[in-house]
Structure 1
Amino acid sequence: MLIEFSAQNFLSIKDRVTLSMVASKDNSHEDNIIKNANKDLNVLKTAVLYGANASGKTNVLKAISFLANFLGKSHEMQQGKKIEVEPFKLDRPCLDSPSKFDIIFKTEGIKYAYGFSVTSEKVIDEYLYYYPNGRQTIIFERENTNNYKFTNDIEKQTAIKDKFNSPNKLFIAVASLWEYDKAQIPFKWLNDNLIVLIHHSDLQELTMDLMKSNESINKRVKSLLKTVVSDIEDIKFTEIEVDVKDDPILKYLNKDAKSKLLDSSNKLSNISTLHKMNNSEELVEFDLDEESDGTKKLFGLLGPWIEVLDTGATLVVDELDIRLHSKLTRFLVELFHDKEINKKNAQLIFSTHDTNLLDQEIFRRDQIWFTEKKEDNSTDLYSLDDFPVRKDAAIEKGYLQGKYGAIPYLKGGLQWQ
């Protein structure tokens, strides 16, 4: 489970910001927390981010995405290949400084702290600590790219470092690849259990693949979709044979892209929904593209949603509310709060503009976060719990009135002509 994430000097984030999933002493909504997640520490199951357009909500989530993606592909980095990191661009010193990422999480009953700083050229610093007996123990520390400190399995880690690591690779990824268990366990959580959905373009295919490979997910996607979109009776998949060898697009592709296309499957899958004809039991087939945008988005979300709840992973979703009715968004969020459904203590972090969800009947105050653009155009991140808010306060009304910041301020003097 995720306990805390921090980022600095990345996109619109200049100064260090921290998203903490540690629950406060508030005793409301006990189903919204994971009790005694780490000794006497309670951890939140969900967190929601609000803020004006261009305030940095998405960039906070993109920072989590960068950490997860760079970890996943780091061991494949060729010598000298650029790291695709973007520092804060509106401050000259930031352009010449590394971007920093830190994460605290728990897996297999042990808390870990991991972090690194990078430029486009190389990894500057990196560390991995764990707390097997409640006390911090160093697995490795890395400074100035090539200076390492090992306190566990020194010979093995030194051998991995000397043979396989390079300036643009994360040591945790390389050590995990070479089956160093103290790196493998935290790497596996970071690589497999931290799932970030910034762009939603491939979700329909993802849900389809999950339905095909997992009968339990297949049944529940159909059941949930029928519950929400009452006139859908079933989902159908059909495969269409395609021949790409004579496709005119081939002449525009480079050698590698052409090879990948020719080696790919010659079958495309099509998704259809089945509806009952009026006053009849006869089923009529519709292509999924004929459904509403909301239905298509819901279908795409349901696969990863169910998988995360089944596995206890941490799901990060940007702009969850787009194309979804407020009640439907609330329904999806509250699946994570339902202890009978979320038995593995999965977590959800998402951004939204839907102020209907700013409701203390849904969230605790420590679950609600805001991003605001500061005077230097960088992103600030803070929690509603930082304000003296009464438990019966109308949060949505207060937010729209500007009591908590993080709303757009429209300048006067508009010139229409």
Structure 2
Amino acid sequence: MLLEFTVGNFLSFKEKKTFSLEAGSITEYKDNYVKDGRFKVLRSAVIYGANSSGKSNFIKALDFMVTTVRNSSKINSTDILNVKPFLLNNKTERSPSYFEILFTRYGDRFRYGFVLDNEKIHEEWLYVLDRNSKKEVLFFIRNLDGIGVADNFEEAKAFVENTRDNGLFLPLLDQLNIEVAKKIMRNFAYIFIQSGVEHEKSINMTYLVHQDESYDAIVEKFISRLNLGFKSFLIESDSDISFKKRINTIHNVFDDKGNKVGEKEFKLVDHESSGTNKVFDISGHIAFTLHLGLQLFIDELDAKLHPILTQEIIKLFNNPETNPKNAQLIFTTHDTNLLGAKLFRRDQIWFTEKDNCEASDLYSLLEFKDEDGNTVRKDRSFEKDYIMGRYGAIPYISNFQEI
């Protein structure tokens, strides 16, 4: 499970900012976290903030790290790494960017990260917190002078000289079938990052899910639970048209007295709402994530969805009965209704806000303190307080009437 992600000097994040899914020492909604060895890990988290405050950039930062790790072994020695540092400071625009991730797997906690610019890897490291010794053990550490491999990672020493300046050491070890590297690469394969606005691309996963009967049943159960106005859906066998255009929804037909007299099929893409189409598009990722216990990140989950639909999706992840494999959902939103729906603990609610130098801050409601140094009580009205600007992370709007 994902514990932490830290980013620094990337897009609008000038300083290092850490997003944590480790549950705090608070008492509310204990079903919303799961015990993973010695750790208490949250099942979901939400990120709020004004437009251009850094919400999407946080998702992009994680996406960059995941993509860089997955593709490192595929690039050539002359390829640039496409990193985007914070450009509104004359020091950071010429400095490398920082990425680190902490996750649990097989009872251990892994900490892996790197520092890079467009031409080369400046630093890279791997530490493992052993389940027995309870001490963090170094496996390798890298800087511009080279790669140092610990004696406990003897099998990796022979491949130090094979690492390109613009290539990561870890993916190379994965290609060479080194077991620890395989575990970490598998974790990166388990992270899915989706757009809640351009959700049409997600239909590919839904298509793949429907090729498996067990997954197909999960998707149908998920969609029926949301009560979208139709009783079921059918997939036409016509292979000459796209998958999306082959989806028909089944509606009941009634007489004037309200008696059911038949059924009628509608084309999903033509007759159903944009929200219903979105739900179907992302249903594959949701079902797949829940079934295998993966991590799903969605930027603007609430786009095109009624607040109640968004709440139902969140409940699927927070509920141990519908999420027995401990999947995690992290998303950005502007939907303040969720703050008043008693869905989240204080450590599950996060905010992004820009300072006077246009750099993004990232902080949770649990760690927020007001001007008097007081923390937020669990009985506060989170939605009301947020709209009133108590927690920051809202847009500053001039007086339009005067304008």
Same-fold call, TM cutoff 0.5? yes
Structure 2 gap ranges (5+) = 255-260, 370-374
Percent identity of paired positions between Structure 1 and Structure 2: 34
Moved more, 353-362 or 398-407: 353-362
Whether the 8 Å CA contact 2:49–2:352 is kept in 1: the answer is yes
What residue number does 1:161 align with? 160
Could you say what secondary structure the match of 1:281 adopts? strand
1:209 Cα offset (Å): 1.5
What residue number does 1:398 align with? 385
Whether the 8 Å CA contact 2:230–2:252 is kept in 1: the answer is no
Determine whether 1:380 maps to 2:368. Answer: no
- TM, length-normalised to structure 1: 0.88
Could you say what secondary structure the match of 1:189 adopts? helix
What residue number does 2:8 align with? 8
Change (3 A) 1:62 1:412: same
Q: In the TM superposition, what whole-angstrom CA distance separates every residue of 1:99-131 from its partner, at most 9, and x where no partner exists?
A: 100111111111100000110111111001112
Change (3 A) 1:413 1:306: closer
Could you say what secondary structure the match of 2:111 adopts? strand
What residue number does 1:264 align with? none
Change (3 A) 1:99 1:237: farther
Change (3 A) 1:348 1:152: farther
1:286 Cα offset (Å): 1.4
What residue number does 2:170 align with? 172
In structure 2, distance between residues paired with 1:307 and 1:152: 39
1:9 Cα offset (Å): 0.4
Whether the 8 Å CA contact 2:139–2:153 is kept in 1: the answer is no
Whether the 8 Å CA contact 1:127–1:141 is kept in 2: the answer is yes
What residue number does 1:343 align with? 324
Whether the 8 Å CA contact 2:174–2:185 is kept in 1: the answer is yes
Determine whether 1:57 maps to 2:38. Answer: no
1:154 Cα offset (Å): 5.7
Could you say what secondary structure the match of 1:102 adopts? strand
Determine whether 1:278 maps to 2:253. Answer: yes
In structure 1, distance between residues paired with 2:89 and 2:201: 35
Q: Give the letter for the 1:234 counterpart.
A: F
Q: Give the letter for the 1:88 counterpart.
A: F
Q: In the TM superposition, what whole-angstrom CA distance separates every residue of 1:16-51 from its partner, at most 9, and x where no partner exists?
A: 11101111110110000112x242x31111110000
Change (3 A) 1:126 1:153: same
In structure 2, distance between residues paired with 1:156 and 1:289: 57
In structure 2, distance between residues paired with 1:186 and 1:71: 10
Whether the 8 Å CA contact 1:276–1:284 is kept in 2: the answer is yes
Whether the 8 Å CA contact 2:8–2:15 is kept in 1: the answer is yes
Q: Give the letter for the 1:315 counterpart.
A: L
Q: In the TM superposition, what whole-angstrom CA distance separates every residue of 1:172-228 from its partner, at most 9, and x where no partner exists?
A: 1111011011211112112x211111352311222122111x212211222332332
Determine whether 1:318 maps to 2:299. Answer: yes
Q: Give the letter for the 1:396 counterpart.
A: E
Describe how 1:1-400 pairs up with structure 2 within 5 A: 1-35=1-35, 37-39=36-38, 41-132=39-130, 133-144=133-144, 147-152=146-151, 156-163=155-162, 165-190=163-188, 192-198=189-195, 199-212=198-211, 214-227=212-225, 228-241=227-240, 268-269=242-243, 270-276=245-251, 278-279=253-254, 280-359=261-340, 361-386=342-367, 387=369, 388-400=375-387
In structure 1, distance between residues paired with 2:22 and 2:366: 12
Q: Which runs of 4+ in 1 moved over 6 A?
A: 413-416
Whether the 8 Å CA contact 1:204–1:296 is kept in 2: the answer is no
1:415 Cα offset (Å): 9.5
- TM, length-normalised to structure 2: 0.91
Moved more, 332-341 or 268-277: 268-277
1:153 Cα offset (Å): 5.9
Whether the 8 Å CA contact 1:319–1:351 is kept in 2: the answer is yes
Change (3 A) 1:413 1:211: closer
Whether the 8 Å CA contact 2:298–2:331 is kept in 1: the answer is yes
Q: In the TM superposition, what whole-angstrom CA distance separates every residue of 1:332-390 from its partner, at most 9, and x where no partner exists?
A: 00111111111111111110000000137211111100000111001001111123222
Moved more, 18-27 or 193-202: 193-202
Change (3 A) 1:183 1:218: same
